[in-house]
Chains A and B, each alone.
Chain A
Amino acid sequence: MRKSAFCLLLAPLALPAADTGEALFRTHCAPCHGPQGNGGRGSNLAVRNLPRAPDDTALSAIIALGIPGTQMPGTRMTGDENRQLVAYVRALGRTPAMPAPGDRANGERLFWSKGKCGQCHTIGPRGGRMGPDLTEIGTRRSPAHLRTSLLDPEAEVPDTFAVYRRVIFTPDNFLQVRAVTRDGRQITGVRVDEDAFTIQIRDYSDRLYSFAKDELRELHKDWGKSPMPSVHGVLSDSELQDLIAYLSGLQGAR
């Protein structure tokens, strides 16, 4: 699974933006945001909705002036260059439209019934909180990627560690942990957050724990592990196709 994550990072760019935008991006943005814009020292820009730039005017202002209170500096460039860079950055966040064939309505039914996906995943306000939120999964993952994850959930557990992160959020980071308390209780669940002295865990019956690390006798981090069962043998081929069609169509609130 680590391997496939790596391949994804090294995949060549196939983006429709202008050459100039790409050249500007390489010079000004890539050193921190990564050559593919998917994050490094800076945040991941290859997302559909940039949290700090709801529209192009806001993105243009951030490029010109930086973001106070962060390491993002302003950048000198002409208005034309700024516009080209805005267009390029916007293009990074758009997964090329890949319509997945299948019956979306049936996929949605399967999500909440036979597939049991909703026990652990949220879509909008509905669902379980154990696994990553899937409200916008269609903007992040291709149909092929979704198929792999549904059949082999541990093929790629998301664990892209932002260098400057201080709060751990799924879906960017998903980690199963197993803790044993000093009095012998065993808790297996998802890491909700962690610092040097404490860890917060949600167990698989949706109970939230907060431990000081010195209250724990053992703390195991199951890198690459996922509690998610494969849909292999649960869903038929055509049902799987319908579920993928449904998930691919999840494009968020907009």
Chain B
Amino acid sequence: MRELLALWAIAWPLAAQVTYGRIAAARSEPASWLTYSGTYSGQRYSALKAINRANVARLKPAWIYQTNDLNPFEVTPLVADAVMYISEPPSHAAALDLRTGRPLWIYRRPVPSEVHTCCGQVNRGLAALDNTVFLGTLDAHLLALDAKTGHLLWDVTVADYQTGYSITAAPLALKDKVIVGISGGEYGIRGFLDAYDPKTGARLWRFWTVPGPGEPGHETWAADSWKTGSAATWVTGAYDPDLNLLYWATGNPGPDYDGGPRAGDNLFSASLLALDAATGKRQWHFQFTPHDTHDWDANHVPVLLDATFQGRPRKLVVNANRNGFFYVLDRQTGEFLLGKPYAKQTWASGLDARGRPIVLPATEPKPEGTLVYPGIHGATNWNSPSYSPDTGLLYVAAREEGNVFYSATAEYKPGNYFSAGGMRGIPGVEPSGPIKALDPLTGLERWEFALHGPPWAGVLSTAGGLVFGGTPEGNLFALDAATGKPLWNFQAGAPVYANPISYEFRGTQYIAIAAGRSLLVFAVE
């Protein structure tokens, strides 16, 4: 036994360095999962194929880890060197033994009782760099923890949580920076994206997503409305190391449903930003939903892919947006290349030549209510899409759900809910949701697989020809990536609010995904 343990230690040294070089080349190291979306490209694709169409029906739980908290478990785990790193609600972090799921350490962050979160006290994951893991907290701090021990290395205040700021997104580690987005779009915050020094926690730059006086875009906000303009950055973005550009999306303008006090396009809300990673300066922006009044945050993981588009090799960024349209942009210039509806929408007759929506009349929220598709949760939400270079398809967990939107007036008070309206369901219409496979170069749908309720789980595609996902009724499933045919499902017993990942350990491929308060890890027997 002792010999075995010694062998073990030699074969899998715990907590080696997650260098920037490894993250940048993560596609060629599919045994690990080193950053939120697997690679910087946002593709959430695994090159592993030991689990495949032929054997996925035999997928069985290998181990289960349970949190000690009732809040939704929305983590994307990281896997490196025989250790899994997770965050868990409300703002904790843990390292798990990959062989057993037993914790190696747990860091418990005391969270004040008065944190302000619109949608549960959640956290979606960590970033890792060298020997450190990074955690954003509900009281809007960024923490650096020793990956070997969980000891706190530094703790910086990103924003004042008492005014409605919080952090729920996984940070993104670059070569010499940790990028962190902010939540609080329903509390009238002024949004921003920050970069910190991984060694010291010193802030290196801040990009305000709502421009201040004198800054370009400030003129798109009436009077003082910019001060509570929101445009939160609450979902992890993507990164192109060659261009050194960060792609990060922004949320709804504040207040959500009453656009009256904030006349104008409300830049840079509901937009995709391309920022110079070195300086945080804006390279370009594209606003999907100018002057949004339906809570259609653009907070999705932007998916970067290189392809020949209409006869010309291009570096692209694609996005299935909450507003119901699928977009293709040139990621060097921000040029709009294509936009098409991918789910039911009743608010725009289409997009113009520059990608601006042609908004239909009578779609604004009214005090008595206005029925619009998509609903407030959008045609998809924060849960990740996936792109498979094998099939050339983009997989989206879509929502077919409308709402009756109503407006009200809201008075801004720091730390208080500031939405100026809300929504109701549509009587007699049961919301649903399919997994959709889109051709990202045309926006055309290749197949769809109908689920029951609209999903809150993201998707993962693999070289095994599979797409993994989950449902709000607790199903975990695998579909044939080429046809959408269901090949495996498992009832986990609680709603799935998380994105799947895959990794390899001791020659076996695993699939990991959180459901309820459990993290479930599966392998083929």
Contacts and interface: CB of A to CB of B under 8 A. Distances in A.
A5 B427 contact: yes
Interface in B398-419: 401, 403, 406, 408, 410-411, 415-417, 419
Given A163-B431, A224-B428, A31 B369 contact: no
Given A71-B119, A161-B431, A195 B425 contact: no
| Interface size bracket, B side | 35 or more
A10 B116 CA distance: 31
Q: Which of A65, A161, A196 has the most CB of B within 10 A?
A: A196
Contacts of A69: 69-72, 120
A73 B473 CA distance: 23
Nearest to B471: A196
Given A32-B422, A73-B116, A76-B415, A5 B428 contact: yes
B472 interface: yes
A73 B111 CA distance: 14
B42 to A, nearest CB: 26
Interface in A164-209: 164-167, 194-198
Contact of B491 (A35, A39, A195): A195
Contact of B424 (A9, A165, A224): A9
Contact of A65 (B113, B116, B120, B477): B113
Interface in B159-218: 186
B348 interface: no
A43 to B, nearest CB: 12
B150 interface: no
A76 B416 contact: yes
A40 B117 contact: no
B447 to A, nearest CB: 16
B114 interface: yes
A50 to B, nearest CB: 18
B71 A40 contact: no
A70 B120 contact: yes
B424 A40 contact: yes
Contacts of B369: 10
Q: Which of A5, A69, A70, A159 has the most CB of B within 10 A?
A: A69
Nearest to B414: A76
Given A10-B369, A65-B113, A195-B473, A73 B424 contact: no
Contacts of B121: 68
A159 B428 contact: yes
Nearest to B454: A163
B354 interface: no
Nearest to A33: B422
A195 B118 contact: no
A195 B486 contact: no
B472 A159 contact: no
Nearest to A175: B430
Interface in B358-413: 368-369, 376-377, 401, 403, 406, 408, 410-411
Given A41-B376, A73-B118, A196-B477, A161 B408 contact: no
Q: Which of B72, B117, B411, B427 has the most CB of A within 10 A?
A: B427
B410 A27 contact: yes
Interface string A1-22: 1100110011000000000000
A243 B298 CA distance: 54
Contact of B408 (A26, A163, A224): A26
Nearest to B434: A196
B428 A31 contact: no
B119 A166 contact: no
A234 B434 CA distance: 46
A161 B427 CA distance: 7
A41 B486 contact: no
A31 B295 CA distance: 12
Contact of B495 (A27, A166, A224): A166
A159 B431 CA distance: 11
Given A35-B406, A40-B422, A161-B429, A197 B489 contact: yes
Contacts of B104: none
Contact of A163 (B116, B425, B473, B491): B425
Contact of B430 (A26, A76, A159): A159
Given A68-B70, A223-B428, A197 B417 contact: no
A132 interface: no
B500 interface: no
A77 B335 CA distance: 47
A166 B474 contact: yes
B423 interface: yes
A126 B474 CA distance: 32
B516 to A, nearest CB: 10
B280 interface: no
Nearest to B435: A196
A162 B120 contact: no
Contact of A161 (B117, B430, B486): B430
B96 interface: no
A2 B428 CA distance: 6
B475 interface: yes
11 contacts: A2-B428, A26-B408, A40-B403, A41-B422, A68-B121, A69-B72, A71-B118, A73-B116, A159-B428, A160-B427, A197-B489
Given A73-B116, A194-B452, 13 more contacts: A5-B428, A9-B424, A27-B410, A35-B408, A39-B425, A41-B423, A68-B70, A76-B114, A159-B428, A162-B425, A166-B495, A196-B473, A196-B477
